[in-house]
Structure 1
Amino acid sequence: MADERNRMLEQLNTDDWQECRQSVLIVDDSAMNRRMLTEILGGRFDTAEATSGEECLHLLEENRDGISIVLLDIHMEGMDGFAVLEEMDRQKMLEDIPVIMISSEDKVDAMRRAFDLGASDYISRPFDARVVCQRIGNTMRLYAKQRRLCAAVEKQIREADQNSRIMLALLNRVMEKRNGESRNHVRRIQIITALLLAQLAQKNGQHWLTGSVRRRITLAAALHDIGKIELENRLLCNTAPTAEEETLLRQHTTLGAQMLEENSTRQEAAFVQTAAQICRWHHERYDGSGYPDGLVGEQIPLEAQVVGLADAYDALAGGENGRPYPHKAAVYLLCTAQSSQFSPLLLECLQEIGDRLAEALRAPEK
């Protein structure tokens, strides 16, 4: 075995492969296998070792940003390599940390399962030093390229969001002049929506609420009452509408959705669809008592549920319909007297964001 290690190290030393030093976590319950890989990689990488799947996850949780790649053995006592991959995927670690699986078997089923679970590559024993280092380098370069692309996309998204915010700010000024609705109301709706979505994203089963999805919903929330532009001034300024006038006022939901759907392009489809759903259904209620369509429970799109709760909270705490309630009183009313009107999960989120919400709403506008 010593002769085999010496052969591999000699092969590596004659290689002209170059790579910036990065960190490799070697996960294997065999001390001999760990030592062999450490000797192969020590000249090019900083290495750390884990003797089990459980220890691997602990090290990743403690030092997620300090580990560049994981070499993960499949067959280990306790938590095997496949289980580690599944847990890394669940915790979204695979988005930042590539994994190369290591095994003494080259069965197609094992390889297929490893790749299905998110492994970036698969290396079979016995090791070839040059191949091991080359494949590690290739995987790192691929992930680095992906990160650069993601950063570029994020920059474009931020620039697009900034342009959209400018346009929406101008539009909100028009709405303020048109229907007397406070410009701060739109700002508060967006703050409440963003905090509710961030809290909701931490719940199980809500992994689809990525940062870009949350930004889109928060931006679209500013248009929730855009349909009021189509209504007559007398309706918008009337503080005591008749039943007939109330029916006309409620049309702002469908009018807003129609405006957006009629003036969209394919490039704007995702944003427009989100904004139209919010416009039409932010007054729907979980118990079916809302309008315009009397939707019940999860029939109401989540984005409309979130903005509907944000709007209801601001009507109480923001004083849009009279004297404002203190923050805790507004939350209490929504979670007790009006609890049937909103999703229990969203009400739970509203309670959990508590002081953060009150502080964010007090902060001056940037």
Structure 2
Amino acid sequence: MPGMNGFEVLGDLSRRSIIDNLPVIMISSEDSDDVVLRAYELGASDYVNRPFDSRVVRRRVSNTIRLYAKQRRLTSLLSQQYNERVKNSRMLIDIMAGVMELRNGESGRHVTNIKKLTELLLGCLVHRSDNISLDNEERSTIALASALHDIGKMSIDDAILNKPGRLTPEEFEIMKTHTTIGADMLHELGRHHAGNALMEYAYQIARWHHERWDGKGYPDGLKGDDIPIAAQVVSVADVYDALTSVRVYKDAIPHEEAIQMILDGKCGTFNPLLLDCLLEVQDRIAETLARPADVVAFPTI
């Protein structure tokens, strides 16, 4: 390239991630170890010293292209296998969540809404915060795990779960146990999948999505950043959707009123940064919830 040496070209290709999809062979009369090492560090697939035998260079180019083609085929195969596992996981979770919603007497859109709102809020959060770093795959995993936030309600008696009026203090104490019961269920399942991010996020969300920023939530009274960020985000999404949806004990509340109630602390205290995010995305919520369920975003391997 005009005005650029070989190392500058390599650096430019690397910065633009072009070198990830393009094998590059560098030819130079420089043969010091530092120069060769620098070329490899910048992403060169091979390094050829001058003077050279053209037959040897042709063979090395041919070998590099064949190796690259094999790597691409392997990457494609691994991606297909990974995507199939993720699709199966999503299908099973959606089935479990659907069964749970039927028993809860909630609309079939609650779990879908929570997932969409979670992704929307997470997208805003990672752009606003210098301390929270979540890539696309992690955000998709948290959103998928959010579908199991109320899995513990499967153990709550129907008379309490679908009571049309206000719960008594005793009934509310029983209802609160859905957090620890759900977390215990997921912990037991997770024993067979140690280190699985989906199970870890699902556990955090199920146990702590009713915790509040000021420590006045349940079941553990966690406060501030002691509450995992996945649970914090889902708690805001859950409250918003609960307010704006019809329940056996209430009518739906308009969007603007629901937002104001959350900001005013009428549903508990939330992370101020999350409230800022809620304000930022409030005009996109209706559009987001109206879209068909998104296809899972698979990571690039």
TM-score of the two chains, using structure 1 as the length reference? 0.63
| 1:291 counterpart (218, 230, 246) | 218
Instruction: Give, in whole Å, the separation in 2 of the partners of 1:97 and 1:139.
Output: 11
- With over 3 angstroms needed to count, the CA separation of the structure-2 counterparts of 1:328 and 1:251, relative to structure 1, is same
For residue 47 of structure 2, give the secondary structure of its aligned residue in structure 1: strand
1:306 aligned residue: 233
**Residue 365 of structure 1: how far off its partner (Å):** 6.2
Aligned pairs for 1:234-245 (under 5 A) are 234-238=159-163, 239-245=165-171
Shift of 1:167: 2.7
1:281 maps to what in 2? Answer: 208
CA distance in 2, matches of 1:98, 1:131: 17
Question: Which residue does 1:359 correspond to in 2?
Answer: 287
2-structure distance, mates of 1:144, 1:205? 39
Q: How is 1:47-196 mapped onto 2 (pairs within 5 angstroms)? A: 49=1, 51-52=3-4, 73-74=6-7, 84=12, 88=15, 95-96=20-21, 105-109=30-34, 111-112=36-37, 115=40, 119-121=43-45, 123=47, 126=50, 128=52, 141-196=66-121
In structure 2, how many angstroms separate the alpha carbons of the residues matched to 1:348 and 1:134? Answer: 59
SS in 2 for 1:123: strand
Tell which deviates more after alignment, 324-333 or 169-178: 324-333
Aligned length: 288
Q: Which runs of 5+ in 2 are unaligned?
A: 295-301
Provide Cα deviations, 1:210-229, integer angstroms capped at 9, x if missing partner: 33x33332222111100111
Runs of 5+ unmatched residues, structure 1 = 1-48, 53-71
- More RCO (CA 8 Å, sep 6+): 2
Contact 1:305 1:342 in 2 (8 A): yes
Which residue of 230, 253, 256 corresponds with 2:155?
230
Deviation by residue 1:221-244 (Cα, 9 ceiling, x = unmatched):
111100111122232233412333
Structure 1 residue 279: deviation in Å? 0.7
In the superposition, relative to structure 1, how do residues 120 and 280 fare at CA in structure 2: closer, same or farther (>3 Å)? farther
Query: CA RMSD of the aligned region, Å?
Result: 3.8
Kept in 2: contact 1:120–1:139 (CA 8 A): no
Match for residue 341 of structure 1 among 266, 270, 273? 270
Contact 1:187 1:222 in 2 (8 A): yes
How much has 1:256 moved relative to structure 2?
Answer: 0.4
- Aligned partner of 1:251 in structure 2 is 177
Distance 1:138 1:327 in 2: 61
2:161 counterpart SS class: helix
Question: Shift of residue 189 of structure 1?
Answer: 0.8
Q: Which amino acid aligns with 1:73?
A: G
Code of the aligned partner of 1:51: G
Query: Is the CA contact 2:25–2:46 (under 8 Å) kept in the aligned structure 1?
Result: yes
User: % of aligned pairs identical?
Assistant: 40
Q: 1-side partners of 2:80 and 2:225: how far apart?
A: 34
SS at match of 1:290: coil
Deviation at 1:150, TM superposition (A): 3.6
TM-score by length of 2: 0.74
Which ranges of 4 or more aligned residues in structure 1 deviate by more than 6 Å? none
Alignment partner of 1:285: what SS?
coil
CA deviation after TM superposition for structure 1 residue 283, in Å: 1.7
How much has 1:260 moved relative to structure 2?
1.4
The alpha-carbon distance between structure 1 residues 73 and 249, as it changes in their structure 2 partners (threshold 3 A), is same
Check 1:353–1:261 CA distance in 2 against 1; reply closer, same or farther (3 A cut).
same
- Contact 1:226/1:256, CA 8 A, preserved across alignment: yes
SS of the residue aligned with 1:222? helix
Query: What residue in structure 1 maps to residue 252 of structure 2?
Result: 324
